[in-house]
């Protein structure tokens, strides 16, 4: 699938059909994450693939009872495992690196006919407790994934003129 078309067509999917995701599709989605660039090529992140229904229900509760977190056949929990590495620009590397890897997954999932939703509204302590995530590891987001049961209208986006300036900040 063409990149710009995928970016245009992709939606946040919050309703899924009852159908398992084929392993080969999941593996290509994970491969898209694996090949993502990262600060100093450290790849200091971890993805936890959750398919177990009871665990997904626990994650749903940790995510403010967003029903689709339990409904999606797969929830991928994206973690930064080196949470204190600061790049020379002053930014922590892990939120950027995890975001790139997860973004790759959302695009490849779309190319596979799957839908995803970034979930960033959750209790990190609860998610860590559910999945046995060590204290020093940070959970950046949950990504739900499955076959979509909806194709929402595109969200409004700002015009380029609002988002871009030339030569100087404006």
Which CB sits closer to a second copy, 49 or 67? 49
CB of 122 to a second copy, least distance (A): 5
Kind and range of the H or E run holding 5: helix 3-9
The span from the CA of 128 to the CA of 125, in Å, is: 5
CB of 147 to a second copy, least distance (A): 18
CB of 9 to a second copy, least distance (A): 10
Which CB sits closer to a second copy, 76 or 147? 76
Which CB sits closer to a second copy, 18 or 156? 156
The span from the CA of 157 to the CA of 105, in Å, is: 22
- Two tokens, residue 163: 């988002």
- Two tokens, residue 120: 């960033």
Nearest CA-CA partner of 98 in 75, 114, 80: 80
CB of 131 to a second copy, least distance (A): 5
CB of 75 to a second copy, least distance (A): 10
The answer to whether 96 touches 105, Cβ cutoff 8 Å, is no
**Helix residue spans in 39-153 (DSSP H):** 53-62, 67-71, 93-111, 124-131
Q: What is the dihedral of CA 66, 72, 74, 79, to 10 degrees?
A: -20
């Amino acid at each position: 699938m063409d990149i710009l078309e995928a970016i245009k067509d992709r939606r946040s999917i919050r309703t899924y059909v009852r159908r398992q995701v084929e392993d080969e599709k999941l593996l290509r989605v994970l491969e898209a994450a694996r090949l993502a660039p990262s600060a100093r090529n450290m790849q200091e992140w971890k993805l936890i693939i959750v398919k177990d229904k009871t665990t997904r229900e626990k994650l749903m509760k940790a995510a403010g009872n967003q029903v689709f977190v339990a409904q999606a056949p797969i929830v991928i929990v994206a973690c930064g495992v080196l949470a204190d590495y600061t790049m020379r620009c002053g930014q922590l590397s892990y939120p950027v690196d995890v975001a790139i890897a997860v973004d790759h997954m959302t695009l490849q999932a779309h190319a596979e006919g799957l839908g995803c939703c970034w979930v960033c509204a959750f209790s990190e302590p609860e998610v860590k407790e559910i999945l046995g995530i060590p204290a020093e590891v940070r959970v950046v987001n949950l990504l739900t994934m499955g076959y979509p049961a909806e194709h929402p209208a595109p969200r409004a986006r700002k015009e380029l003129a609002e988002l871009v300036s030339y030569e100087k900040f404006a």
